[in-house]
């Protein structure tokens, strides 16, 4: 039984460090600007946040290029419309009273400068988050500790998940999405690894780790899977590729209605 456990873990690690799908890339002309819309709505009250910015050339550095003056609404399948208001940060639109309901379709609409962009996302039901913890394994630079997430995938293919990790309150860039093609209907252990193996991403004893576990729909999974960076970071809108967006109208980005759970642990 013990050997089977280790075989399962190392099989997961092998899958984790390999790529199973080709990323499609689209080359942008350096002078071309596009709107970037990054939208999130969860089952938690006040989670609705839409950021609107413009792309910048890859050789241009700077802070978040937020766009003011947009009309932003989220409509549920019953026809209830919630209008988001711009926060103190230019380009960030929120609604502190909006809370998503699982198994409900939500439609985002953004009107800005005579253009209209729309997206639809269905909030999945919550799969059971069972535990988070750590695993020590060999990496390119020696032994490392990695976060693990154990959860129960419901029967029937089509479920997809995103994992967001914070180390000592700071977002930690990890390989962050998976679907249930290989483990449909089973209790599953997912190992998270950093985007780069540097000393900055190495865990230290005593580090406080928080894992957010998101049930996402298929279009949002495709967006994050096809994203070269696969990170949630307002302002990192200089990416040289266009992930598979679910935004209609010509903007880049995504709109994700997702169920969210979280757990924490301390590195030992």
Would you write out the chain's pLDDT as a tens digit for each of its 268 residues? 444 343 344 444 444 444 344 434 445 445 478 999 999 999 999 999 999 999 876 555 557 889 999 999 999 999 999 999 999 999 999 999 999 999 999 999 999 999 999 999 999 999 999 999 999 998 888 899 999 999 999 999 999 999 999 999 999 888 789 999 999 999 999 999 888 888 888 999 999 999 999 999 999 999 999 985 444 443 344 444 578 999 999 999 999 999 999 999 999 9
Tell me, what's the pLDDT at 62? Answer: 56
> What is 35-123's CATH number, 3.30.465.10, 2.40.50.100, 3.40.1260.10, 2.60.40.380?
2.60.40.380
Q: What is the DSSP string of 10-70?
A: HHHHHHHTS--SPPP--PPPTT---EEEEEEEESSTT-EEEEEEE---TT---S--B--S-
Predicted confidence at residue 2, as pLDDT, reads: 41
- Residue 78 has, within 13 A of its CA and on its CB side, a CA count of 6
- What pLDDT shows up at residue 60? 53
Domains of the chain, by residue range, sit at 2-17+127-230+238-243+258-266, 35-123
The whole-number pLDDT of residue 182 equals: 94
> Would you say domain 2-17+127-230+238-243+258-266 falls under CATH 3.30.230?
no
Q: What is the pLDDT of residue 241?
A: 59
Q: Residue 42 corresponds to which tokens in the numbers above?
A: 């969860």
């Amino acid at each position: 039984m013990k050997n089977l456990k280790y075989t399962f873990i190392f099989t997961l690690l092998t899958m984790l460090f390999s790529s199973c799908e080709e990323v499609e890339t689209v080359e942008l002309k350096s002078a071309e600007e596009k709107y970037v819309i990054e939208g999130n709505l969860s089952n938690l009250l006040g989670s609705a946040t839409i950021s609107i910015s413009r792309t910048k050339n890859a050789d241009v550095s700077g802070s978040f290029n937020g766009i003011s003056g947009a009309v932003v609404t989220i409509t549920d399948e019953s026809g209830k419309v919630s209008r988001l208001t711009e926060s103190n940060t230019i380009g960030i639109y929120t609604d502190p009273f909006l809370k998503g309901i699982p198994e409900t379709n939500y439609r985002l609409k953004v009107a800005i400068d005579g253009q209209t962009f729309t997206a639809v996302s269905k909030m999945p039901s919550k799969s059971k988050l069972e535990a988070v913890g750590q695993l020590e394994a060999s990496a390119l630079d020696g032994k490392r500790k990695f976060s693990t997430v154990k959860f129960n995938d419901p029967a029937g293919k089509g479920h997809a998940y995103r994992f967001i990790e914070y180390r000592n309150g700071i977002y930690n860039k990890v390989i962050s999405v998976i679907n249930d093609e290989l483990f449909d209907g089973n209790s599953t252990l997912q190992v998270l690894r950093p985007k780069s193996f540097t000393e900055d991403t190495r865990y230290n004893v005593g580090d406080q780790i928080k894992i957010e576990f998101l049930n996402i729909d298929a279009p949002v999974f495709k967006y994050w899977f096809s994203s070269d960076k696969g990170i949630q970071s307002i302002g990192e809108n200089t990416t040289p590729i266009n992930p598979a967006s679910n935004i209609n109208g010509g903007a880049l980005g995504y709109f994700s209605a997702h169920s969210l759970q979280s757990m924490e642990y301390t590195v030992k």
